Amino acid sequence: MTEPTPLRVGLAGAGPWATKVYAPMLAGGPETTLAGVWARRPDAARALAAEHGARAVGSFDELLERCDAVAFALPPDVQAELAVRAARAGRHLMLDKPVAIDVAAARRLARAVDETGVVSQLMLTHRYRDATDAYLAAARALRPLGARFAFLCGAFVDGPYATPWRRTHGAIHDLGPHAFDLVEAALGDIVDITGRGDPVRWVTLACTHADGAVSEVSLSGALPTPPAVCRMDVFGADGTLAFDAIAASQAETPWPRVRRTFADAVRAGRSPALDVHRGVAIQELIERALRAIA
């Protein structure tokens, strides 16, 4: 049986996430090839492209000419603008979270995807691990009454991810998408949010879900010392179940599944469940959380 032609994916961005994840994942195939690298820092684009046997290009438009799809490793405000251009050019989208800085920009992007019919996939990395799937299924079977979720780290203090947009917007934008997505996957849609705190220091949210369950979410990227914590505990009528997402990430890499899911979706012409519309729903939760602590 002949293997399908690899999907040509261009990479927009050459920062730490592009270097650590996207470039090696896309170049690693067999479902994809790294068709080119563009970044706002040309030197970084050239270095990253050379490392993976790809070509650095001088403009985003040139990147679009070389690829079937674009993977974004850019700040959310830049991603939202450029992804609309990519969709209008008929290029499929691998989107980072959050998909934008605000709801209006996220909805503009979703409209462009719908109008052009391109495939979109949202990179919520925890959701591309078998261990996460198994945990969420088991958690739902407990008939949940409540949950606690904590994502606490020092990513905004120093290191490669202490970038200007993270330092400015903080934990609700950067860590919140993972929290909202996982608690909704276990307990159902969030219908109300209350909270206290400061996104650049520490935020605690209480989320009410559609069936009456309540989750407590604590987020901080400002802790000065390791180790990081990303843990979820679900409490139900039929028991209690804990999930250590840090341990799961050390035991199982999600990148082959991310790559395969994207390539399969493009070939089928149908976006997976984690798509731009899931990104819009999460963006709306981010906005509600920000209003709750205002």
- Domain map (residue ranges) of the chain: 7-124+253-274, 130-251
Which of the four pLDDT bands, split at 50, 70 and 90, describes residue 241?
very high
Roughly how many angstroms between the first and final C-alpha of the chain, as a whole number?
Answer: 58
Return the pLDDT at 264.
97
Q: Which homologous superfamily is 7-124+253-274 in?
A: NAD(P)-binding Rossmann-like Domain (3.40.50.720)
Measured between alpha carbons, how far is 218 from 126 in angstroms, rounded to an integer? 17
Q: How many CA atoms lie within 13 A of 104 on its CB side?
A: 0
Which of the four pLDDT bands, split at 50, 70 and 90, describes residue 226?
confident
- Of the listed ranges 89-93, 157-161, 170-174, 182-186, the one predicted with least confidence: 157-161
Whether 7-124+253-274 shares its CATH topology with 130-251 is answered no
Return the pLDDT at 158.
86
Average pLDDT of the chain to the nearest whole number: 96
Higher-pLDDT residue of 2 and 161 is 161
Return the pLDDT at 4.
83
Q: What angle do CA 102, 265, 274 make, to 5 degrees?
A: 35
DSSP 159: S
pLDDT digits (tens, 9 = 90+) for 170-192: 999 999 999 999 999 999 999 99
Could you tell me the fold of the domain covering 130-251?
Dihydrodipicolinate Reductase; domain 2 (3.30.360)
Exposure string (b/e) for 62-90, b if CB count within 10 Å is 16 or more?
ebbebbbbbbbbbbbebbbebbbebbebe
Return the pLDDT at 131.
97
pLDDT digits (tens, 9 = 90+) for 35-72: 999 999 999 999 999 999 999 999 999 999 999 999 99
pLDDT at 1 over 60: no
pLDDT at 3 over 90: no
Other CB atoms within a 10 A radius of the CB of residue 242 amount to 12
Measured between alpha carbons, how far is 86 from 29 in angstroms, rounded to an integer? 22
Measured between alpha carbons, how far is 287 from 172 in angstroms, rounded to an integer? 9
Nearest to 58 by CA among 72, 75, 45, 74: 45
